[in-house]
Structure 1
Amino acid sequence: MKQRKWRLSAITAVMMLIAVACGGSSSSTAPTEVVQLRWFVGLGTGTDVETQVPVQQEVVDAWNAANPNIQVTLEVVPNADAKNTLLTQNAAGNPPDVVGPAGVAGSNGFYGQWLDLAPLISDANYDLSQFPAAAVEAFAVGGQGQLGLPFASFPSFMYFRPSLFEEAGLNLPPTTYGDQYEMPDGTMVDWSWDTIREIGMLLTVDSAGKDATEAGFNPKKIVQYGYAQPWNGAPEWASWFTPGQFLQSDGKTIAAPDGWVDAWQWYNDAAFKDYFMPNADTSALEEWGQGNAFPTGKIAMGQSYTWYTCCLGDVLGEDWNIASTPSNNGTISNDLNADTFRISAGSKHPKEAFEFMTYLLGEASAKLLVIYGGMPARAADQDAFFATLDEKFPQGVNWDIAKASYANASTPSAEAYIPNYLKARDYIYSDFTPLLTKKAMNVSDYVTNTFIPALQAIADESE
């Protein structure tokens, strides 16, 4: 009901402006046509009627007041209905002009239906140097063009609990990208996924106080794990080892990217061979967080994104910090989640839509980023953003790690496009990902004989 009132208010305002333009002046000059734009919200965040919709409406009202010849109507659709609503509008030839915020995954369900912004960026002489080059590149899609620009970013890094390192007599993780880690015997090693395995086993303890490297360790009575993987899925897990995508350069063939099978085997071994990561059955238990184990306080490390600060709970208190993403074979892969706005390929007013979109990315971004919870894409705006997080988390979180992760984001995204994307994504996250920690397995065999053929069949359905 609130949404309908806001929408009607916007339409009424537009009609008043038209009336003034057409009949309220004695000038003989022909009235300027008022361009009508629609801003569609619902594919991602932005649908909360209490905290988000009112602020978005304020942003629209401010634009409309300053731009009488380009008027915008806000359309907010509940997330559960947004996909089908947008598909219906597009099919009817009535797409909204600006859509977002939405991430890569939310947008990939509309592959081929977004406008390439490159010509508009060039015509407007829009300054891309305000963003890290890697962040701009993250929205460049092969064969499609520059589909978005940086806005709300969620870089990834390693969360850890300092007290568990101290109790185990281990040094804390490095505080700067590129720094090595000092092992208990004094040797210096790369902060790598191999190192995570080694110290993860030292940080995993059974009810008798033995760690996972000691004789007599009982994997059936673990009271503390060295590592747990908060949410996400198989593509993210592997992309932190090596960036890649399933869809190959021919646009048809599906294959496991180089290094991903080894990464998935690392996770499977962590749960069933080395025992420093809870398996699926353990993770599902209430005492282990029912899928979100790190906030239980019994997990030493977990790789995730800035958005995960939403879900750390009360048990940890101030006993957590962040470290760099581990390297793999000497290379660091920082997967990035990012929300932004896109313009529909069928927009009848692309130039004006781009003007409004850059307003959302610029002048309006301070208000919007607060309600969306995303790190600002502009380096100049980031200190203020992290200052607000410091008020919530006063322990002195090393946010320089987050900034460095963002500035060195890897491509392609773990959420890269696959034909028949929505069905493919459901299969990857609902079927394949849980299996990786459900039972001990030869991942290579399963991927070769079952997973990739099934994913290829799903992709082929789109033809």
Structure 2
Amino acid sequence: MKNYSKITAVILTGLMLATALFGCGSTSDTVSSDTTSGGTASEVSSGTQQAQKKEPKEPVEIVYTCWGSATEKKATEATIAKFEQENSWIKVKTMVIPNANYDTKITTMVAANEPLDISQLESATIAYPLAEQGKLMNLKTIAENSETPLSDFVPEDLFYLDKDTIIGVGNGLEVFNLFYNKDMIQAAGVETPPTDPEKAWTWDQFVETAKKLTVDKNGKNALDPSFDPKKIVQYGISFPKWWGLWGNFIYSNGGDYVTQDGKFGLSQPEAVEALQKLADLINVHHVAPTPTAEKGLPGTEIALQTKKVAMAIDGQWVHLPIDSAKFNFGSGVLPKMKELKTQAVTGMLSIYANTKNPEASWKLATYLVDPGQDITLYKNGNLMPVTKPWLTEKDKLDQWTTNTTARPDGYVQGIVGMLLNYSVPTPTGTVKNFNKIIDIVNPALDKVWLGQQTAQEAMKAAEAKAQPLVQGKRER
């Protein structure tokens, strides 16, 4: 279970370790990789709305920055080389910047007016600060007349500065779902988690099932009066303790990070109730591991494979390592409190406002998020597409959801269905000052997971520090 201090960056880095369509590699110094391709093109000036030309007259060069690891470098170079072959008028200079120094390096380059055209960015820590300084392009100015208009994207994949300004598109959507070990479910004789969103478990149904699947060293489950919570050998459920997970249930219970009238939302009754119900899985129902016990457990895929845990709530991207672990698994929709909700989280690609080549930059952005260029990332369980055709048209859906063990039965109805019909945008793109607020919330919640404070006590204490940081939500 990881500490997600810079959550989108961590997620995307982890995702790119599997296959590296979006990554670039370096573990120490910045690396530049560029390949010269023949061809001619006409250069498009910054901010113009010219329709894309089929036969550009002179070549252009764009600078693309991203973060990643050394293992991703070759794959990235291959991806860029393929892009250049198919778009011979564009030369891409790829700059690889270590994750730990990424925001600082980009900020310094922007301040020095160094050439930058398109970047992979983490929304809360750097993209919105740059956008508020006028450094990022409104993608509406270039995408409207392109082959891939913004209307093709899932709404949750678009990052708005305000209702008229879109500053980025996600480069791989992720939602959350309920994984489980099929053999453990069958052995306990309990109902399989549903894949139909309309039949999502209520919270009480979920807790009841988790109790049946939690077993102590004497073989007693958590419903048995003689069950020993201090000698658990099999947990019914596990879940990581970061906002990506617990935020789903804030929304499910009718809450939010900030209220419409400008209050710190996590101290409001709906949010407090949701957080307490999650903590009660650990400290009242004893169906989830304590933070201390959790340290001795492996990651989600191994915990399920080795039958330490029967069910796990985690991100969609975990289909990849779970499938690689080679055991009999399934995935269903999240349980609900009041209504089914999932957060759609993603990193983003942005184009700089002063680019001289917006057309070429947008072409690269849409290439990088097009499953048709490399279906591997999607078919192996890692990512979900960001454009509607790949999520709704059967011929495209089949390319990444069929003939693969990484997409279990019911995946399209359940997981794709949650994204299309039950998702909300990542709060890093909607809540102003999100990272600063969460930095206050996280240590307060540590006491809740440990059972040292109630959610009400912890969030009320956090409110005093968080409220001055609340600046509302961005319009979409």
TM-score range normalised by the length of the shorter chain: 0.7 to 0.9
Q: Is the 8 A contact 2:344 2:419 kept in 1?
A: yes
- Deviation readout 1:384-437 (Å, 9 max, x if unpaired): 2234742xx59x4432222212222422324445555544444444x2343331
Matched, 1:442 2:460: no
- Alpha-carbon distance in structure 1 between the residues aligned to 2:117 and 2:467: 33
Match of 2:444 in 1: 432
Partner of residue 313 from structure 2, selected from 303, 311, 317: 303
- Alpha-carbon distance in structure 2 between the residues aligned to 1:302 and 1:255: 27
Q: Is the 8 A contact 1:228 1:302 kept in 2?
A: yes
- The Cα shift of 1:228 comes to 0.8
- Alpha-carbon distance in structure 2 between the residues aligned to 1:110 and 1:282: 41
- Deviation readout 1:136-190 (Å, 9 max, x if unpaired): 5x534545722333542222211112222222221222232213xxxxxxxxxx6
Partner of residue 118 from structure 1, selected from 137, 140, 153: 140
Match of 1:221 in 2: 231
Moved >6 Å (runs of 4+): 1-6, 103-106
Match of 2:290 in 1: 279
- Alpha-carbon distance in structure 1 between the residues aligned to 2:465 and 2:101: 28
CA RMSD of aligned residues (A): 3.7
Partner of residue 344 from structure 2, selected from 336, 350, 371: 336
- Alpha-carbon distance in structure 1 between the residues aligned to 2:399 and 2:464: 48
Matched, 1:412 2:420: no
**More displaced, 292-301 or 272-281?**
292-301
AA aligned opposite 2:337: N
Matched, 1:373 2:382: yes
Matched, 1:269 2:280: yes
AA aligned opposite 2:333: S
- The Cα shift of 1:273 comes to 1.1
Matched, 1:91 2:101: no
Partner of residue 156 from structure 1, selected from 173, 176, 183: 176
- TM-score, length-normalised on structure 1? 0.77
Change (3 A) 1:295 1:427: farther
Match of 2:463 in 1: 452
Match of 1:206 in 2: 216
- The Cα shift of 1:295 comes to 4.7
Q: Which SS does the other structure have where 1:226 is aligned? A: strand
- The Cα shift of 1:361 comes to 3.1
- Alpha-carbon distance in structure 1 between the residues aligned to 2:292 and 2:30: 47
Change (3 A) 1:249 1:158: same
Number of residue pairs aligned between Structure 1 and Structure 2? 418
Match of 1:35 in 2: 60
- The Cα shift of 1:93 comes to 2.6
User: Unmatched 5+ residue regions in structure 2?
Assistant: 1-23, 41-55, 472-476
What is the 5 A alignment of 1:12-51?
A: 13=36, 34-42=59-67, 47-50=68-71
- The Cα shift of 1:199 comes to 1.6
User: Unmatched 5+ residue regions in structure 1?
Assistant: 19-30, 180-189
Q: Which SS does the other structure have where 1:308 is aligned? A: helix
Q: Is the 8 A contact 1:324 1:405 kept in 2?
A: yes
- TM-score, length-normalised on structure 2? 0.75
Q: Is the 8 A contact 2:64 2:94 kept in 1?
A: yes
Match of 1:184 in 2: none
Matched, 1:254 2:279: no
Change (3 A) 1:340 1:458: closer
- The Cα shift of 1:374 comes to 1.5
AA aligned opposite 2:352: S
Indicate the structure (1 or 2) with the bigger Cα radius of gyration: 1
Q: Is the 8 A contact 1:212 1:276 kept in 2?
A: yes
- Alpha-carbon distance in structure 1 between the residues aligned to 2:223 and 2:25: 59
Match of 1:182 in 2: none
Change (3 A) 1:345 1:97: same
AA aligned opposite 2:398: D
Q: Is the 8 A contact 2:197 2:340 kept in 1?
A: no
- Deviation readout 1:68-112 (Å, 9 max, x if unpaired): 544321111121221211111122233621112757777456553
